[in-house]
Structure 1
């Protein structure tokens, strides 16, 4: 049984404990892919955050590479690129507004069909020769980096990296130089808007302030694509969420500030200053 078959056999409403039991019972069947269909946010051994030279084209010509934009980068372009990838992966949606989480819609998984080589494109943006078949490797930061590269955000404004807190460290340092395009702000006080990133620590990363951000820490970031403060929710798109490019529906308050939950203890909003 493949990971995709296993995940699709799960009920649409699931809890962490139930998924943990499924994962433990079927570890042999997973054959090296993710051991749980929960969103996987894993550590990276790379502690650096220097810019890399992206290599976007892929070797599988059946899945053509997305062209890098030659237009000046914009907030709208970043949101559109994230939505396009969400479309490519079949519009998987995870509702995180209530426990247990639910999956109103399932999409293409990282190790299925054309997704395998699509994830390779994301990896190429951070200089890695991996694909969606390498599903022990977290690709959520590679996905964010790829979005920045394909929308023509220059590396002096956003340094692509395979680890979220590595590029967050770069952005924190970048603020001290002229004309930063991204600013780090506390998630508990900063409303989110389409085009921003929203980031949370995970695992043994227990930092509680932006000042503590440094390379090598574990975390996860999504791109904000829609905010409905009056209705109490926002939609954020991220890679490697439930083993796909997914839109997560998250709770926000009346001012549009992301509300922390156990799976997403939001720490920082990356304010996008692009036009």
Structure 2
């Protein structure tokens, strides 16, 4: 979380007995000055840190943001002293209407019979596939597993086929709204492996992806499914270049650049 100090200045009031008007003017101006300082301080920090109350302009980011809003705006903050602090809890996957909505997510992958009560089936990959489909991101391979659609995207990119999605190592690219930020148990080791090895590593070690909805205040704001048993926004710290910074509990694997929306 970002903490900022309230700016202050040295205000000096000189009383002149011979000028009653001057004293009264200062007396009136001082509260107005303090109000102005507080107002400026509030405006300067309202748009930094915390999650964004304004809808994103990118279509993919907007669809994910609307789902996050639909289910209570569950929010988790990483980095610094936060360490995965749950700032706000959302609606559980076992409660309606989220339980049926999870069935919609699975439906985009060909399994509408699965829903939020199917607790043994993680649905974060289905959520990403649903978001991509409903945002009009053509060419995205729908799949219930992150590794399945990520390895398919890798094959397209390295097969000299036209694709609107490009895969980057976390230290090579700064995520923007509509992109995916992905973690995995083997990190970015796929990046310099042979195509066959890279495909296997991506398919077998990818663990989770979130849809980026905003980048500001030193954080990437990204929405994912099946996080805290809900649709949750996670705030991940970034470095001075806008790249994903080391995050406790996350081993960054890649950033998927979305050029479709």
Quick check: TM above 0.5? yes
The CA distance in 2 between the partners of 1:119 and 1:191, in whole Å, is: 30
Distance 1:259 1:207 in 2: 14
Tell me the CA shift for residue 267 of structure 1. Answer: 1.5
Contact in 1 for aligned 2:123/2:144 (Cα 8 Å): yes
Structure 1: gaps (5+ residues): 1-74
**1:223 aligns to 2:205 (yes or no):** no
Q: What is the aligned counterpart of 2:69 among 67, 87, 97?
A: 87
Alignment equivalent of 2:135, drawn from 125, 130, 151 = 151
1:117 alignment partner, SS class: helix
SS of 2:79's partner is coil
- 1:197-235 CA-to-partner distances (Å, cap 9, x unmatched) read 011103xx466233424333341000111112xx32111
**After the TM superposition, which residues 238-249 of structure 1 pair with which residues of structure 2 at under 5 Å, given as runs?**
238-249=224-235
2:89 to 106, 119, 125: 106
Alignment of 1:55-94 (within 5 A): 76-94=58-76
Moved over 6 A (4+): none
Tell me what 1:69 maps to.
none
- In structure 1, the residue matched to 2:33 is none
Q: Give 5+ residue unaligned stretches, structure 2.
A: 1-56
Identify the residue that residue 54 of structure 1 maps to in structure 2: none
- When residues 260 and 100 of structure 1 are mapped into structure 2, their CA distance, relative to the original with a 3 A threshold, is closer
* 2:79 pairs with 1:97: yes
CA separation of 1:102 and 1:206: change in aligned 2, threshold 3 A:
closer
Residue-pair matches, total: 195
**Pair 1:265-2:258 in alignment:** no
Q: For residues 167-223 of structure 1, what are the alpha-carbon distances to aligned partners after superposition, in whole Å with 9 as ceiling and x for unaligned?
A: 111101111334310000111221111111011103xx4662334243333410001
Indicate whether 1:131 and 2:115 are aligned.
Answer: yes
Aligned to 2:178: 195
- Higher radius of gyration, 1 or 2: 2
Deviations 1:47-78 (Å, cap 9, x if unpaired)? xxxxxxxxxxxxxxxxxxxxxxxxxxxx8111
Root-mean-square deviation over aligned CA pairs: 1.7
Verify: 1:209 aligned to 2:193, yes or no.
no
Q: What TM-score do the two structures reach when normalised by structure 1?
A: 0.67
Q: Secondary structure at the match of 1:240?
A: strand
The structure-2 alpha-carbon separation of the partners of 1:253 and 1:234, relative to structure 1 and needing over 3 Å to count, comes to: same
Which structure dedicates a bigger proportion of its chain to helix?
2
What is residue 165 of structure 2 aligned with on the other side? 182
Secondary structure in 2 matching 1:104 = strand
Q: In structure 2, how many angstroms separate the alpha carbons of the residues matched to 1:253 and 1:115? A: 35
**Counterpart-to-counterpart distance in 2, 1:172 and 1:220:** 16
